[in-house]
Structures are given as C-alpha cells and as structure tokens.
Amino acid sequence: MPVVVARRFSKLDPPTPFPPLSTPYTILPRHRPSPLYNRPTEGWGTSPNDGSDATFAHNNVLHRNHFRKDWQSRVKTWFDQPGRKQSRRVARQAKAVKAGLRPVDLLRPAVRCPTMRYNTKLRCGRGFTAAELKAAGIPLKKASSIGLTVDHRRRNRSEESLKINKERLEAYQQRLVVFPKKAGKVKKGDTEGAEKSVEGLKKLASAFPVPAGHKQEGSRAITSDELANKGTAYTTLRKARSDQRYAGIRAERQKKKEEEAAKKK
C-alpha cells in the first residue's frame, strides 16, 4: 500500500491528478501512479488494443480477447477440388455398374413444402407412408425390396396427398420389372421374361417427376355466378366456420322444438 504524507496545500505546487480538498490539507501519494498501474496485461476484461481500462455494464459476458492462436495451421484449403470432382464421378460409375439394371436412386413421394409461404409447391419427400402403400396394395415390408422408400413419421393430413402418392405408386408398379432370384424359376411377384424385355432405367427422378403443385391462372372476365354471389371470400369462410362451430347447438335446439311441438299435439 503506498505511503501518504500530509502537508499544507499551496497554489505554487505542481498540478496533481486529484482535485484539492475543501480543507487546507490534502493527502497525496508519494509517487504518482502510472496510467497502467496494477493493470493486467492479458486476462478477463482486458483488450491489448485499447488504451483505457475495460469496464463492464450489466449482466453481460466478460470478454477474454486473445488473438494468439496459431491460425496458419487452421487454414482450410480446397486445392483438391478437381480431384474430388473426378473421384465423385468414378464413384457414380462404380455404383451404376454394381446396381446392374436397377436404378441408382429410389422412388420418393410428392409432398407439400412447409409454412404458408411455400405450401403451394410440391417437392420430393423422404418416404411413402403406410397408408399410401396400403392404398396402392403394396406390403410395408416389400416396399424397400422394390426400390421404394418408407417414412414412418409422416402422416397423411389430407385426401389430396394420399391420392397423389397412390397414383404415383400405381404408375410405378405398371412399369416395374422384378427379376427372379434364380433364373428360370419365376415366383409370385416376379415378372416373366424379364431378362429379354427389360431396358435399364438409371434415374427414377426423371422417369417419375413430381407434378406441379399449383397452376397459376391468367386474367379472365368475371362470370355471372360470381357476380350473383355478392359476399366476399372472408365472409364465406367466416360463415362456414360459424356453421361448423354451432352445428351441435343448433341441432339440439331444433330437437327441442320438435319435442315441444309433439307434446302440444
């Protein structure tokens, strides 16, 4: 702790870092402290670039700025991009040879994109649901053996999605050719004469494209039926919602009226 002395204050004294007291005596340190006195060179709440003591406000993070990492050894380069491109091409060719006459990809369902912004668009999904496979007459365990993907989490929340993927599976089954495990021994589910009549199809995505989700209509004249219906779309939807909400109450009210009318008779 610095030693202090007390002496009388004079106007001729050199300026001090502390303002004079209202009393005729002031307390001064024997040695003037350095601006960086007792300041850590590196640690919590310090920055090597600023010239002022770091302060913190409120319940925020105590920054520990340290810029002495060996960044030269952590630089990521991509100089082998042409080589990787060639490797991927060779891998695709090897996969096609190994697959033989089978397609290299699997058939995917057509699903709606999430959120209100994109739900008018259709895209390929993860897999078919159990309800879609059942509607098309395909057992769940057989699906993966004939080039179909299965998704156990997705649910059919509309008749439209079930219908689209059912038609997609039926179109796939019409063009499906199943080879027997042993040549000449055709079993149930196999295709007779498959070795002679089949032509290899390498991409199912191009053969079974996803249908367009929404067809945008052009401008047209208003019809007489639309002119007769003066209500707006908002009122139509509100009325339908109200009818659905109060259907039970109105049915009960109508039943009471019929019972009262029967008693009066």
Helix (H) or strand (E) holding 110: strand 110-112
Residues 173-220: pLDDT tens digits? 998 888 877 777 777 767 766 555 556 667 788 888 998 877 788 899
- Establish if 145 belongs to a structural domain: yes
- Establish if 116 belongs to a structural domain: yes
- Establish if 133 belongs to a structural domain: yes
Of 199, 219, 207, 112, the closest CA to residue 168 belongs to 207
Domain count, the chain: 1
- Establish if 126 belongs to a structural domain: yes
State the residue range of the domain holding 124. 104-180
- Establish if 175 belongs to a structural domain: yes
Per-residue model confidence as pLDDT tens for the chain (265 residues): 555 444 554 555 555 555 555 555 555 555 555 555 455 544 554 444 554 455 678 898 888 887 788 888 889 999 999 999 999 999 999 988 888 888 888 999 999 999 999 998 999 999 999 999 999 999 999 999 899 999 999 999 999 999 999 999 999 999 888 887 777 777 776 776 655 555 666 778 888 899 887 778 889 998 888 777 777 788 889 999 999 999 999 999 999 999 999 998 7
DSSP 31-83: SPPPTTTT--SSSTT--SS-SS-----SS-----------GGGG----TTHHH
Is residue 38 left, alpha or beta, with left meaning phi > 0 and alpha meaning psi from -120 to 50? left
Q: Beta 25-29 vs 122-124: how paired, if at all?
A: unpaired
- Establish if 203 belongs to a structural domain: no
- Establish if 125 belongs to a structural domain: yes
- Establish if 22 belongs to a structural domain: no
Question: What pLDDT, on a 0 to 100 scale, did the predictor assign at position 51?
Answer: 47
Residues 209-230: pLDDT tens digits? 998 877 788 899 988 887 777 7
Which residues in 240-254 are b (16+ Cβ under 10 Å) and which e? eeeeeeeeeeeeeee
